[in-house]
Amino acid sequence: MSSSEPDTPNPPQRSFDGVSHGYAPDGRPVTPPPVPLEKIVGDVVDDLRATAEAELTLLKARGALAYHGVGWTSAWGFIAACALLVAMLALAFGAILVLAQHIGPLLATLIVFAVLLLVAAVAGWRARLNYGDVKAAFRDDLLARGDD
């Protein structure tokens, strides 16, 4: 009887001695030489210097933006204050003219003057309350009690 195995050559046996289980194809990796301490310290100093320069650049950019914003805010605030002043003057003169027909010019002027003083007093009182918040924001000790 003939053998049932075909005539195929056996594959050569491979040796796995040179394989380091996925780390490197030719054995253990070579450990790099240790980095000198001077190089590490130099890198840290360079990184700190770069960080400090970046922070200063950021502060300069923020300062320029704030300066630009303050300039335009004050300009538009001045225009708004002027417009409000003119509007209040027009309102006051109009109120005097309307009241003068009914109670006389002197009494109409005194009534409008008293109302404007009352509005100014309320606005001053509210400004003083908000000024306390500004003082508290700039105080070193935020928990300090008492009026400064």
Q: Is residue 96 part of a domain?
A: yes
CA distances from 42 to 1, 48, 50, 63 (A): 82, 10, 12, 31
User: What band does 77 get if pLDDT is binned at 50, 70 and 90?
Assistant: confident
Dihedral angle, C-alpha 92, 98, 103, 104, nearest 10 °: 70
Provide the H-helix boundaries in the chain: 37-103, 105-138
Q: Is 108 helix (H, G, I), strand (E, B) or coil?
A: helix
Look up tokens 């301490």; give the residue: 37
Among 121, 98, 126, residue whose Cα is nearest residue 111: 98
Residue 134 reports pLDDT greater than 90: no
pLDDT in tens, 12-49: 565 555 555 555 556 666 678 888 889 899 999 999 99
Q: How far apart are CA 75 and CA 64, in angstroms?
A: 17
Does the predicted model carry a pTM greater than 0.85? no
Per-residue pLDDT, 64? 85
Q: Is residue 121 part of a domain?
A: yes
CB 138 within 8 A of CB 132: no
Q: Is residue 14 part of a domain?
A: no
CB 109 within 8 A of CB 96: yes
Q: Is residue 20 part of a domain?
A: no
Range of the domain at 74: 37-137
User: What band does 89 get if pLDDT is binned at 50, 70 and 90?
Assistant: very high
What is the number of structural domains in the chain? 1
Q: Is residue 61 part of a domain?
A: yes
R_g (Cα) of the chain, nearest Å: 42
Separation of CA 122 from chain center: 34
Q: Is residue 120 part of a domain?
A: yes
Q: Is residue 19 part of a domain?
A: no
Q: Is residue 133 part of a domain?
A: yes
Residue of 7 and 101 predicted with greater confidence: 101
